[in-house]
Amino acid sequence: MTMHLYFARRFFVYFLGLTAVFFVLLVLFDLMEQLRRFSVQELGIVRILQMLVLNVPKELYQIFPLIMILSSLVLFLNLARSSELVVARASGRSGLMILLAPVSVALGIGLFGVTTMNPIVAATTKQYDQLALFYRTGASRAISIGSTGLWLRQGGDDGQTVIYAHGSNHDASVLVDVDFVTYREGGGPSQRIRAAQAELRTGEWHLTDAKIWPLDRGINSEAQSETRAEMTISTTLTSDQIRDSFGKPRTVSVWELPQLIGQLEDAGFSTRRHQMWLQLELSQPVFLVAMVLVAAAFTMGHTRMGRTGLMSLAATLSGFGLYYIRNFARILGENGQIPIELAAWAPPLASVLLALGLVLHMEDG
């Protein structure tokens, strides 16, 4: 147990050290990116730093597999250079027993990332996206979905418009039985429009069988209402923006994703992206374990065997290759080419089995 705690402590220290190094690098790179995207003269340095703080957690969370494999490389190379692996084997510990401590730490870090880091990253990413949209365009958008219908809000220089629809197609480009309530800038509602159908086209909503009620004070809205077979309402929304308003899974915590998936299904939207993201997040601890095993498979040999640099490079390239395969499987799963569970769990499980096979081959031949 003492030896396991020793290996676990060293591995965790290396992981924290590399995380701090990458955090500093990400802060520097992201600061340059924020200065490129936003004007310091218009926003001020305080808001630029606010955007930086909100965006860096997402970037750091995305490179956890890279940090994990590099931490594993540092651990095993140092243990091999100091002959501690030789001593551990001489004491009767097999290679798999030596791996128990770093694998446990990697699994714990993965579970911490999914249960704790993921909600934090989702909240900061959502806030960053909203502020970036507001700073770039001066407009704001919001969406709410439930079993009773769909609520949208679009804003711009002309004020806010609240949209409520009882139903829609899978990507919210066609709304059915829909109401538009337009608000004056800084004031109350100015008119209400009810339509049988509203289709989102480039820069406008195309309404069918619409009825318009003016909502000015001191008038009879019903007496002054009018009906139109067709009409248009300008908008800055696009189908992609509407989907992203509720459809960016990275802005939703894993604790809230199941409920959101149910709401989207009730409203008739496709939930493949959300289900895929949920399964990917749940499989993240297994993938981090695979990164540790891949590094161990190439670097647990004694340094006197030579080829240390080549083996380290092979381990790093193998980690990048597995990460690429995982992302490729995610795309296939989102597009419906393969089942979601297979796309999310097959790459990390296959990586673990492949790495274990390499470790056993290196240890026992």
What digits encode the pLDDT tens for the residues 291-315? Answer: 999 888 887 765 555 567 787 788 8
pLDDT value of residue 260: 80
User: By percentage, how much of the chain surpasses pLDDT 70?
Assistant: 85
Length of the chain: 365
CA neighbor of 294 nearest in space, from 255, 345, 350, 252: 350
Q: What is the predicted pLDDT for the residue at 345?
A: 94
Q: pLDDT: is 187 or 286 the higher one? A: 286
CA angle 30, 32, 36 (to 5 degrees): 110
- For residues 348-360, average pLDDT: 87
Question: Can you give the pTM of this predicted structure?
Answer: 0.77
Residue 331 amino acid letter: I
User: Measured between alpha carbons, how far apart are the two ends of the chain, in Å?
Assistant: 27
Q: What is the pLDDT of residue 268?
A: 65
Would you say 301 and 295 are in contact if contact means Cβ atoms under 8 Å apart? no
Identify the pLDDT of residue 159.
Answer: 65
Of 58-67, 196-205, 281-290, which range is least confident? 196-205
Is the four-CA dihedral 246, 249, 254, 257 of positive or negative sign?
A: positive
pLDDT, the chain, mean:
83
pLDDT of residue 135: 77
43 or 246: which leads in pLDDT = 43
Q: What value does the mean pLDDT take over residues 120-149?
A: 74
List of E strands, the chain: 141-146, 149-156, 159-168, 174-183, 189-201, 204-214, 226-234
Q: Torsion-angle region of residue 120: left (phi > 0), alpha (psi -120 to 50) or beta?
A: alpha
- What percent of the chain shows pLDDT beyond 90? 27
Confidence of residue 162 (pLDDT cuts 50, 70, 90): confident
- Among 131, 334, 154, 298, residue whose Cα is nearest residue 236: 154
Of 148, 182, 176, nearest in space to 162 by CA: 182
Q: Which residue has the higher pLDDT, 246 or 221?
A: 221
CB 282 within 8 A of CB 166: no
The predicted structure's pLDDT at residue 144:
62
Confidence of residue 143 (pLDDT cuts 50, 70, 90): low
pLDDT beyond 50 at 365: no
